[in-house]
Structure 1
């Protein structure tokens, strides 16, 4: 359905937030919503509460009411906007193609312009959004510090003395399942270039991420090696930085644009054929850099060049690469009787990354790869396309709702009787590790990034970096 341009209302708002929303929101997108309700069953918060304002349609109605001067935005309005997971499951089912993700980010950007955070929240936001995430050397320092905490015995002391009880329950739970931090990132371990095995198909660049290169550096290394096995020369531009996704989701749009410019230049200078992401949350913003910078004439063309080259690791392997042969080893623990009858060694299931599925349209390729693993039985999880509750830092800022959503997810995960629960995004991976831990399934179910699972099944002795 084509969009219809209505034009913004000519209103002088007395409320500062309403004025800012009128300036920043795409009014055409607000008026495109037909209120058909197709988005309701797709929305995780609406499914949990059944309350209209907890749906995309309801939130759009609230946004439009503020912009049209029908209502004054109060704290309840702000809370409702912040209660959205930003999973964007509403977009694929919308017959009017409403860009809800852009609307919620524009609204949060406006809210943040007028937010009155306490000293602790303001300090924390400034520290991480401006002081840590954009600076790779500081992220490395954070990684080394976290590794020291984990390896020196300080972690055991903190847990044993009860210091962790000073933190909220959900923070203690997340600390329990954090993976070992890396003191060296992917570039420090394998260099800035890695050659293809066999005839080269194309030259690709790895987007290494910020948190990804600290908590999941092994996955970055395995991504490079998997791409090499599939026939790609891999370049890792050293000057790249944080993608800006957490900034965009949290109303820090100007900072997200600054980060986008850094990355566009870094990858344009590298002159690669494709830009590969192994994190659905990062990839979803990277593929929309053209929209993020479309009003900046000096960057719009290069941003469009960048956005059209972004591709998920699974998609490029399936669509462009020479997919290696994957063989499953014997399963650890008991194999479900129904699976044993098929001769499979282990059962694997998959939790979609919302942003990979809904924004990058990358739900098919991971399944093709998993089904190509010999000796493994792929069991589709019920509602695998529903958000797990991670949603960036949502499980930290909205722990109650995130916990409810995770409980439903674990009901479906447990029903698969899978030994391996795979996903394509670090946030989802941590959330599923948390769910497995809370359900006492650590002995017979393992959450893994799909890259690590696949690479382990082609890895050979002597390949370690």
Structure 2
């Protein structure tokens, strides 16, 4: 049966009755302040109202009808990255992720944003979760890059003069368009190499399949080399993570249903994902569709099957031999994506996999648990805070003097590439699946090459 909607004891003029922030969860906060040091927005902005504790105070006041859902109130919820570091640090076990998700849904239903901001958000939510629509933009983007116009405009200050800040931020994150970005070349069933140990479904993602297709290619090769038959339904779309994280509740639910329907007729040992933000949302389908009588039980069963690909491979074990990636020891720094570390509590599994590569030396950065500033589309909607966090993250990663950065989330990868370029650092960023793939295929890494170069 679907779960009952939560309601506040008294009607609030600011919020509606559909799943307001749960007062019991709010009351569990003991206001100790342990969350402050872990909160990236508080570190940058330095305001109590831009911290988890401050936002919980605001949620309580909204629930009690003591303050309106005004622009000055909403800006403090918009400043939250949703990284969940505060939940990891909280000694009282407050589920801040549940609170911010409920609050953002309320904001989207009950707060009229300025028309320019509303239009820009609609552009993002009508484009990014739909791979076909994203691919319509690839031709103009490729032309913009190939003609040298991108380089020319980036060297000048014309973009900053002509475009609003969010559009400038979006342009700055655009990766190089490759030929592989225009199609998904894989059949629906890819057989295992040798004996079939497992039959797994694979989710391609929306932004990743378009802008980092080499990561999916490497993941498929690693899985098949380790005895997995890989199932890739053609009808799959976006998992809904982007929409869910920004309070677009109905869109997230629709995308979740479509994703489940795409895999409905497959008997699988696991459904695998190689992007951490997507994985966290996929594992929450039971909550996202809890009030849907037709899907709630199926949603929880589907969520129970979802695993990050690193989590899965660490559990079942690698069976294929691994080769050194270069003659000398290779130093790699692993970057923890927030929704992997704080959302899914996956920390050691990727490191254990990477350490199995002969000659690989794993290094750890300072402030490893601090968000890089990507957070879905946060670095587009809140570019000043996103940029500061990106600068800090890249500085900490480069201070390890590692030869390669390993990062398992598409948003993080795009953010890090931008800030590496801004700091004139030429350290390649590779998904752990790419490193395993190169090791399996005995592909040697060369200094100064990118993930796209290595894939060729």
Per the TM superposition, whether the score is higher than 0.5 is yes
Equivalent position to 2:371, from 361, 371, 387: 387
How far apart are 1:82 and its partner, in Å?
Answer: 0.5
What CA distance in whole angstroms lies between the structure 2 residues aligned with 1:156 and 1:328?
36
Question: Mapping of 1:374-413 within 5 angstroms?
Answer: 374-413=358-397
Q: Which residue of 2 aligns with 1:449?
A: 431
How far apart are 1:154 and its partner, in Å?
Answer: 5.3
How far apart are 1:316 and its partner, in Å?
Answer: 1.0
Question: Mapping of 1:229-268 within 5 angstroms?
Answer: 229-268=225-264
Equivalent position to 2:415, from 431, 435, 439: 431
What CA distance in whole angstroms lies between the structure 2 residues aligned with 1:437 and 1:394?
20
What CA distance in whole angstroms lies between the structure 2 residues aligned with 1:295 and 1:32?
24
- Contact 2:390/2:419 (<8 A) preserved: yes
What CA distance in whole angstroms lies between the structure 2 residues aligned with 1:33 and 1:212?
37
How far apart are 1:346 and its partner, in Å?
Answer: 2.5
User: Paired residues, what number?
Assistant: 440
- SS of 1:276 mapped into structure 2: strand
What CA distance in whole angstroms lies between the structure 2 residues aligned with 1:179 and 1:328?
29
Q: Which residue of 2 aligns with 1:356?
A: 340
What CA distance in whole angstroms lies between the structure 2 residues aligned with 1:417 and 1:192?
41
- SS of 1:219 mapped into structure 2: helix
Question: Mapping of 1:191-340 within 5 angstroms?
Answer: 191-330=187-326
Q: Which residue of 2 aligns with 1:3?
A: none
Label 1:151 to 1:378 Cα distance change in 2 as closer, same or farther (>3 A).
same
Label 1:22 to 1:129 Cα distance change in 2 as closer, same or farther (>3 A).
closer
What CA distance in whole angstroms lies between the structure 2 residues aligned with 1:366 and 1:386?
18
Offset from partner CA, 1:234-266 (integer Å, 9 cap, x none): 011111111111111222111100111101111
Offset from partner CA, 1:305-355 (integer Å, 9 cap, x none): 110111111111111142544334337xxxxxxxxxxxx533110110100
- Contact 1:195/1:234 (<8 A) preserved: yes
- Contact 2:332/2:402 (<8 A) preserved: yes
Q: Which deviates more from structure 2 when the two are superposed, residues 289-298 or residues 44-53?
A: 44-53
Q: Which residue of 2 aligns with 1:137?
A: 132
Give ranges in structure 1 of 5+ residues lacking alignment: 1-6, 332-343
What CA distance in whole angstroms lies between the structure 2 residues aligned with 1:238 and 1:40?
44
Give ranges in structure 2 of 5+ residues lacking alignment: 1-5, 444-453
- Contact 2:15/2:62 (<8 A) preserved: no
Offset from partner CA, 1:128-175 (integer Å, 9 cap, x none): 323x34544323323344334434555456558875453357855764
Offset from partner CA, 1:196-254 (integer Å, 9 cap, x none): 11211111111101111100111111111111112111011111111111111222111
Question: Mapping of 1:80-159 within 5 angstroms?
Answer: 80-130=76-126, 132-151=127-146, 155=150
Label 1:328 to 1:115 Cα distance change in 2 as closer, same or farther (>3 A).
farther
TM-score normalised over the length of structure 2: 0.88
Label 1:8 to 1:96 Cα distance change in 2 as closer, same or farther (>3 A).
farther
How far apart are 1:280 and its partner, in Å?
Answer: 0.5
- Contact 1:237/1:270 (<8 A) preserved: no
TM-score normalised over the length of structure 1: 0.87
- Contact 1:371/1:378 (<8 A) preserved: yes
How far apart are 1:41 and its partner, in Å?
Answer: 2.3
Q: Which residue of 2 aligns with 1:11?
A: 10
How far apart are 1:182 and its partner, in Å?
Answer: 4.6
How far apart are 1:270 and its partner, in Å?
Answer: 2.2
Offset from partner CA, 1:266-308 (integer Å, 9 cap, x none): 1222222211111111111011011100111110011011101
Q: Which deviates more from structure 2 when the two are superposed, residues 297-306 or residues 265-274?
A: 265-274
Q: C-alpha root-mean-square deviation of aligned residues, in Å?
A: 2.7
What CA distance in whole angstroms lies between the structure 1 residues aligned with 2:371 and 2:223?
28
What CA distance in whole angstroms lies between the structure 1 residues aligned with 2:324 and 2:166?
35
Matched, 1:43 2:48: no
- SS of 1:421 mapped into structure 2: strand
- SS of 1:405 mapped into structure 2: helix
Equivalent position to 2:71, from 63, 75, 80: 75
- Contact 1:174/1:434 (<8 A) preserved: no
How far apart are 1:424 and its partner, in Å?
Answer: 0.5
